[in-house]
Structure 1
Amino acid sequence: MPDGITGLELDSAVRSELGTLTRPAAERVARHLVAAGQLLDDDPETALAHALAARREGYRLGVVREACGYAAYAAGHFEQALAELRAARRMTGSEHYAPVMADSERGLGRPERALELAASVERARLDHATRVELLIVEAGARRDLGQPGAALGLLDVPDLHSQAIGTSVARLRYAYADVLQELDRREEAAEWFARAAAADVDTETDADERRTALQ
């Protein structure tokens, strides 16, 4: 990897990919990727602009197409997100883009295609957090189709009842509670929002506020 990149917030795998570019190109692409990552949550449109700038020189790199896909998704440009993440998947062979791709199909009003995509994924190739996210997206697609009961059944997995804490279990319990509220099972929903809040050690959800609102 070019020496000038070593101070940037990029992991070793990304640095390895960038090492296939010339030094000046690698420097430019790396800086755009770092900027895209830093802006993704607060300013996704600008993050996307940086990712697309990186794409001009790094379009053959999976990490660049991944950055474009995630930024497009965050900005609500779902067709663009799908195109970029399909490219990233072809380049890397990774299935870890599946939750965002499936949710992009939902964003385009195509819940059936979201379910088809989810069903095509080899779950054994996914890490735990990605499996949970894909399950949440599947449940969302069922709700889109007017099937909240089916969504609830999808989410009722061993992880839901485990003693684990952290973002994944908190998000799973939050999704479960949200479906219960849709089904007008308010007491149960409040209980599961409370369980989500207890697991949400990084405060990634508003589970406690949702619980309070149901009391």
Structure 2
Amino acid sequence: MAEDRRGQRPARGGSSAGRGSSASGRSGAPSRGGSSGSRGSDSRGDARGTSRGDSRGGAPSGDSRGRGSRDDQPRGKGAPSRGGYQGGKGGPGSKSGSQERGFRGRGEEQQPRTASQAEYDGPELPEDITGAELDRGVRAQLKGLPEKLAARVARHLAAAGVLIDEDPETAYQHTLAARARASRLAVVREATGEAAYAAGHYAEALAELRAAKRMNGATDYLPIMADCHRALGNPEQAIKLAKSPSVSNFSTEAKAEMTLVEAGARRDMGQLDAALRTLELAPLNSKSRSAWAVRLRYAYADTLESAGRESDALAWFHRTHAIDSEELTDAAERADLLERKQS
């Protein structure tokens, strides 16, 4: 069900969690498809990355990748976010809880694990993941937990950070295990939201990031949240978030990511001219060779082509390729195709 939105997600910038900190750690704003300016991308801004931090040891962090896949039809899962073990009778630490988890006395048949029990346990933790991979700021937020509990939560978050790009679904399961143990920590909810986004669980991602925002007041998540709205078929809500007053205080990278999401939402609504105007207000002529600049140019070229302005699109694909030293996009190939078409 989940479409591959990795690399087109908004880059995250100032979240407290980082790779090795929260669950995914990107830092900007969503940039799906063409708006994201990545290989084969369409015009969507991908938001994965806005809220992530910086460290890259275990949990996701604030790196912003610019790859975008042609995922013109965002797919969102409408399932409600899952609730983990909340404690109380029958919990993993009680006698009855032990029986529910399948540990019966001698002679008693072992019962299969329930979904909530399996979620609490989470995937198997690699022995080489200790939790020390997390960003120092994230580890500090876990200090209010009992020592052993904090260590377990840290290992799940770190494992999620390691797996977020290669196996986002398993990364998401690790964050659910962390959430089941520490659902009142904003950094855990943030990690869960980012991993859910990476795995294509957009409704769950939106719910978790809203919860994190209520807890810590951070606005770094807005680009990802806006892109979740797009994926769920609500481009109007994405545009509403893009117009939030707090966006004016974003870093240049985060603003670019939100621009990509807004332009993508305009395209979702068939408003190509409005999408072009949105992108033209961004620093398209910046001398920066950062991923955000590459993605902005690519999104603009892609939207120009969709609007039938092929000569202009060709020029901007060439301008994108000129600063895309890491080959984040397929701008060169797109330019070649247009040149053949025009010859």
TM above 0.5, one fold? Answer: yes
After TM superposition, list the pairs within 5 Å mapping 1:175-214 onto structure 2. Answer: 175-214=299-338
Quick check: 1:120 aligned with 2:214?
no
Matched length: 211
Task: Give 2:137's aligned residue.
Answer: 13
Match of 2:227 in 1: 103
Match of residue 37 from structure 2: none
How far residue 23 of structure 1 moved from its aligned partner, in angstroms, is: 1.4
1:159-196 Cα deviation digits (max 9, x unpaired):
10121211111111111111011112222212212222
Task: Give 1:158 deviation, angstroms.
Answer: 5.1
- Name the aligned partner's letter for residue 115 of structure 1: I
Give 2:7's aligned residue.
none
CA distance in 2, matches of 1:121, 1:47: 33
Among 291, 294, 300, which residue is 1:167 paired with? 291
Mapped partners of 1:128, 1:30: distance in 2: 31
CA drift of 1:121 comes to: 4.1
Give the stretch that moved more between structures: 187-196 or 162-171: 187-196
- CA drift of 1:130 comes to 1.1
What is the SS of the residue equivalent to 1:155? helix
- Cross-structure match for 1:27: 151
Q: Matched residues in 1 for 2:131 and 2:209: separation?
A: 27
Q: Report the secondary structure of 1:82's partner residue.
A: helix
Q: Which runs of 5+ in 1 are unaligned?
A: none
Q: Does 1:92 align with 2:216?
A: yes
SS in 1 for 2:177: helix
1:72-108, Cα deviation, whole Å (9 max, x unpaired)? 1111111101100001111221111111100100101
61-70 vs 139-148, greater mean Cα deviation = 61-70
1:169 & 1:207 partners in 2: Cα distance?
A: 13
Give the match for residue 145 of structure 1. Answer: 269
Shift of 1:7: 6.7
1:116 CA displacement: 1.2
Which amino acid in 2 is paired with 1:125? N
Query: TM-score scaled to structure 1, two decimals?
Result: 0.91
Q: Is the contact between residue 131 and residue 158 of structure 2 (CA under 8 Å) also seen in structure 1?
A: no
Structure number with bigger Rg: 2
Structure 2, gaps ≥5 residues long:
1-128
Q: What is the CA–CA distance in structure 2 between the aligned matches of 1:198 and 1:125, rounded to whole Å?
A: 29
Indicate conservation of the 8 Å contact 1:166/1:202, yes or no.
no
Are 1:155 and 2:279 an aligned pair? yes
By relative contact order (CA 8 Å, sep 6+), the higher-ranking structure is: 2
Separation (CA, whole Å) in 1 of partners of 2:330 and 2:165: 17
**Which has the larger helix fraction?**
1
Deviations 1:34-81 (A, max 9, x none): 111121122111111011111111211111111111111111111101
CA contact (8 A) 1:177 1:192 kept: yes
